Chain A
Amino acid sequence: MRYVGGTAAAGTAFLAGCVGSDSEGDDGTEGENGDDDDGGNEDQGLLSEVEIILSSAGADTVDPHQSAGIPPSSVTTNSYEGLLARGPTGEIEPRLATDWYRVEPGQYRFELREGVQWHEGGELTAEDVQYSIRRIIDDDVDITSDRQGHVIGIEDVEIVDEYTVDLVSDGLNTAIETSTASYLGVVILNKEWVEGNDLETVNTEMNGTGPYKLVDFVEEDYAVFEPFDEYWGDPPEFDEVTYTGVTESATRVNQLLAGEVHLIETLPPADVGRVREESDLSVTSRPSSRVVHGVMDITVEPWDSKEFRQAMNYAVNNEEYIENVMQGFGTVSTQPALPEMFGYNPDLDPYPYDPERAAELVEESGHAGIELEFSFGVGRMLLDTEFVTAVAGYIDDLPNVSCEVNELDLTTFGTLWNDQHDPDEMDFFAVGYGHPSYDASQTFQAIVLDDRVGRFGKVESEEKDEIQSLIDQAANTEDPDDREALLQEANTIAREEAVWLFLHQQESVYGINEAFDWEPRNDELMTTVGSGPAE
């Protein structure tokens, strides 16, 4: 019954000859919001049906273990829950587990909430938890999960009793809370249901424990939820929640302006003004977990030279391009970790903009006169063409380096980066990496020490070993302060080594109808859990 939602109401209003003032209501006050929205909330003045627009194609599957992307997770977290969860700013909250503690190094216990109902009946048990975690970490259980990289160090799950499980690790495994709280980590499915259905059903239907249950879903298109009455927590506040994927940004903005939808992802900075002008709409943003940086293929010249890598960092005026090109929707990066992460070193400053120093360093590195190509895949990062062009421009401005932009489509970019990497084709490129784990060690593992193409960890060096040992030590340190100090030290070294061309932390920008009380999250997740109608 998706048509009953906001968009349909806007249409029928016209057919009934009723011309609404909609977004042009210049005298519109807060109280009139209802007029601009769908029929569902006019009676009581509160929003009852909410429509959320994702900027990607939408969820390609609703099996959380078969995707590690943010858009599918935004959809699935309405129905599926983990043992723990993160609040909007990253604080850990209980979900299916009520208590969690380390029994001994290598054994971490979760006490499960009792009486949690599955959407299709039955109660949550320890068996479901065991099965779900094994489904992720063990290739032999059902599928090869996309989430293995997000669930670190867990070797197995032991059932203590019906409502208690132990997660077993090889060592201390300090990342266990992170893995169980991340929406990309452990998400609990119903064992019986998954085993009793074919993969296609699991891909397109959901049987979760969350506040909303799925009523209609078409992959890469839309998903419709209705409240689950037997939810264990606070009762869901909306009668209907719809997610639709709309890739065309102008279309998303128009939908919001016309009052058809309540929340849109990735509001283009150019449209920020138009949305702000509307009395019932607002713009909201939050630094995301996405760190945008330049990868320099350390296996080839000139990137094997630390001086040259530093020179690139001195050459770019981050503050200027963020202000002018990104319209302020970004924060200068100082180190691999983000400010929200555990292990972030607040004492580090960004590389200053110093083109003279940069030119000197280029001379020192012996690569003066080199011609560079700065590549990127179009469409993944906010204002990518714009900022990449700006960055390449700064480098090109150096007297002894020239730099051109190499714009690639995402497929070509992905192929060049992955299995068919050839440094002659691409050795210097911008990527945005989002990792909502809130722990710097994961960032280091994934995008600094990783032996993936072009990463710092690809080439053996003293500094690599140094960082690696700091991270390893941190993983086996129980005391948070000591751990933090170790990770901060790793960040200091990474900055000095210029493991990346440090660019910026991207901000997520949303357009929102003020009738919808929703807070943007650091992890970019667009879940309705914890949100409700305004007033």
Chain B
Amino acid sequence: MKEVLTFLARRSIQGIFVVWGVITTVFLFRVISPTNPAQLMAPDDASPELVRQIEEDLGLTEPIFVQYVNYVIGVVQGDLGFSYMTNTPVLRRILHALPGTLELAVAALLFAVIVSIPLGIFSAMYRGTKIDSTSNLVSLGGVSTPNFWLAIMMVLFISVQFGLLPTSGRPIGLGEATGLLVFQGDFGGLSSWVAHMILPTIALGTYFMALLFRLTRNGVLEEMGKEYILAARGKGLPEPLLMYRYVLRNSLTPVVTVTGLQLGGLIGGSVVVESVFAWPGLGTLFIRSLNVSDWPMMQGILILVGAGYVLTNIAVDFVNAKLNPQVDLA
């Protein structure tokens, strides 16, 4: 237990430095960016005086170091500033977009894991059979299909052609839908949520699923050739236990690592998939703020994504250490 706490403390401190680095880098990007936020905020026909006034209001006339210190202090206090475009707090916008992105990321991840790991094991166990070659072909397709193409095709056929699922949007979040179900016994919200989740989840998760499938299959194949598998068979260990405790557990390390890193990336939102499905998530928000040079918004999102990466990395290392006793947490 002490070991775990030390690990968490040490990694958290490292993480804070990483996030601080992100904050600084992003701040520097803003400083060297040629766009003038005051000009963007001002009406098209604003006078130079007005622009200067806005600059002052934004604190852009202060020395850069002072701006930097103010910004960092703000971030520490949970104040990410105000959006240049909408004049609303960045944090509120991000918190509004975050659930959509998180739900989609987690759903895509679950979809990928649930499909890929059993398929990977199965494929490895029946190596060289038709099952194996078919799975391999599918995974090759999955890895090499661009997700926007898959998304567009699914929408065209499933939503437009046959009207089975909605084309886009996220009219209700999981939280709200669950609330409806629990407090009002209304299934409509949840079913609407599920219906809207399916296509984006598949579009986002397919590549990942194919990737994990290959990792699992190769990992299992490698494990099955190990001598301790023979030894375990020799002592009469039941096959399910052997597959789980010996083969799967030991082949999971790369799977967990990749899963974690992908989740870290997905927290930033998949810009393409969010765009095709008009999904109100961080990716959409980021692209939007990028287009209008809404720096406070971009900074906020990047800091969040940086923090997300740090957290998932800690989680990955932690899980891997649990899976593999040779990895020392300290």
- Selected contact of A419 from candidates B36, B177, B285, CB within 8 Å: B36
Size class of the contact patch on chain A: 35 or more
B-side contacts of A139, CB under 8 Å: 50
B163 & A23 in contact (Cβ 8 Å cutoff): yes
B191 & A12 in contact (Cβ 8 Å cutoff): yes
CA A15 to CA B188, docked complex, whole Å = 10
CA A24 to CA B157, docked complex, whole Å = 11
A415 & B166 in contact (Cβ 8 Å cutoff): no
- Selected contact of A12 from candidates B93, B195, B288, CB within 8 Å: B195
Q: Indicate if B27 sits at the interface (CB-CB under 8 A).
A: no
Closest residue of chain B to A8 (Cβ to Cβ) is: B192
CA A264 to CA B50, docked complex, whole Å = 36
Q: Mark B38-61, 1 if CB is under 8 A from A, else 0.
A: 011001110000110110000000
Task: Tell whether A257 pairs with B160 under 8 Å between CB atoms, given A3-B192, A15-B191, A418-B39.
Answer: yes
Closest residue of chain B to A202 (Cβ to Cβ) is: B87
CA A351 to CA B290, docked complex, whole Å = 39
Q: Indicate if B292 sits at the interface (CB-CB under 8 A).
A: yes
B168 & A246 in contact (Cβ 8 Å cutoff): yes
In chain B, residues 119-176, which have Cβ atoms closer than 8 Å to a Cβ of chain A? 152, 155-156, 159-169, 171-172, 176
In chain A, residues 13-44, which have Cβ atoms closer than 8 Å to a Cβ of chain B? 13-16, 19-24
A-side contacts of B326, CB under 8 Å: none
B-side contacts of A414, CB under 8 Å: 35, 39-40
Closest residue of chain B to A149 (Cβ to Cβ) is: B45
B86 & A255 in contact (Cβ 8 Å cutoff): no
CA A60 to CA B171, docked complex, whole Å = 19
A-side contacts of B217, CB under 8 Å: none
CA A204 to CA B35, docked complex, whole Å = 27
Task: Tell whether A149 pairs with B43 under 8 Å between CB atoms, given A248-B275, A257-B160.
Answer: yes
Q: Indicate if B323 sits at the interface (CB-CB under 8 A).
A: no
A-side contacts of B54, CB under 8 Å: 144
Closest residue of chain B to A420 (Cβ to Cβ) is: B34
Which among A14, A60, A68 has the highest number of chain B CB atoms within 10 Å? A14
Closest residue of chain B to A12 (Cβ to Cβ) is: B191
Q: Mark A254-285, 1 if CB is under 8 A from B, else 0.
A: 11011110000000000000000000000000
**Smallest CB separation, B50 vs chain A (Å):** 6
A-side contacts of B35, CB under 8 Å: 411, 414-415
A3 & B44 in contact (Cβ 8 Å cutoff): no
CA A203 to CA B280, docked complex, whole Å = 19
Q: Indicate if A160 sits at the interface (CB-CB under 8 A).
A: no
Closest residue of chain A to B165 (Cβ to Cβ) is: A14
CA A7 to CA B35, docked complex, whole Å = 39
B-side contacts of A7, CB under 8 Å: 166, 168-169, 171, 192, 196
**Smallest CB separation, A223 vs chain B (Å):** 13
Closest residue of chain A to B168 (Cβ to Cβ) is: A251
Which among B54, B163, B168, B285 has the highest number of chain A CB atoms within 10 Å? B163
A199 & B87 in contact (Cβ 8 Å cutoff): yes
A11 & B192 in contact (Cβ 8 Å cutoff): yes
Which among A66, A204, A257 has the highest number of chain B CB atoms within 10 Å? A257
B166 & A260 in contact (Cβ 8 Å cutoff): yes
Which among B196, B278, B291 has the highest number of chain A CB atoms within 10 Å? B278
A-side contacts of B163, CB under 8 Å: 10, 13-14, 19-24, 258-259
Q: Indicate if A218 sits at the interface (CB-CB under 8 A).
A: yes
**Smallest CB separation, B107 vs chain A (Å):** 15
A411 & B291 in contact (Cβ 8 Å cutoff): yes
CA A416 to CA B186, docked complex, whole Å = 54
Closest residue of chain A to B35 (Cβ to Cβ) is: A415
**Smallest CB separation, B184 vs chain A (Å):** 11
Q: How many residues of B contact A (CB 8 A)?
A: 56
B-side contacts of A257, CB under 8 Å: 160, 167
**Smallest CB separation, A70 vs chain B (Å):** 13
Q: Indicate if A180 sits at the interface (CB-CB under 8 A).
A: no
Closest residue of chain A to B93 (Cβ to Cβ) is: A219
CA A219 to CA B177, docked complex, whole Å = 21
A61 & B86 in contact (Cβ 8 Å cutoff): yes
**Smallest CB separation, A424 vs chain B (Å):** 15
**Smallest CB separation, A185 vs chain B (Å):** 14
B-side contacts of A141, CB under 8 Å: none
A-side contacts of B88, CB under 8 Å: 61, 200, 203-204, 219
- Selected contact of A258 from candidates B44, B167, B285, CB within 8 Å: B167
In chain B, residues 66-110, which have Cβ atoms closer than 8 Å to a Cβ of chain A? 85-89, 93, 96
Q: Indicate if A407 sits at the interface (CB-CB under 8 A).
A: no
- Selected contact of B168 from candidates A12, A66, A220, A255, CB within 8 Å: A255
Q: Mark B182-204, 1 if CB is under 8 A from A, else 0.
A: 00000011011111100000000
Q: Indicate if A128 sits at the interface (CB-CB under 8 A).
A: no
B288 & A15 in contact (Cβ 8 Å cutoff): no
Task: Tell whether A218 pairs with B160 under 8 Å between CB atoms, given A12-B191, A15-B194.
Answer: no
- Selected contact of A203 from candidates B87, B164, B275, B276, CB within 8 Å: B87
Q: Indicate if A5 sits at the interface (CB-CB under 8 A).
A: yes
Chain A residues packing against B (C-beta within 8 Å): 2-5, 7-8, 10-16, 19-24, 57, 60-61, 66, 68, 139, 144-149, 199-200, 203-204, 218-222, 244, 246-248, 250-251, 254-255, 257-260, 379, 409-411, 414-415, 418-420, 446, 450, 452
Q: Which 3 A-B pairs have the closest CB atoms?
A: A11-B195, A22-B163, A3-B172
Q: List 11 A-B contacts (CB under 8 A).
A: A2-B172, A3-B189, A8-B171, A10-B166, A19-B164, A61-B86, A144-B53, A219-B93, A254-B160, A255-B278, A452-B45
Task: List 17 extra interface pairs beyond A19-B163, A258-B160, A452-B45, CB under 8 A.
Answer: A8-B195, A12-B191, A12-B195, A15-B194, A21-B163, A23-B163, A200-B89, A219-B88, A220-B85, A247-B278, A255-B169, A379-B291, A411-B35, A414-B35, A415-B39, A419-B36, A420-B34
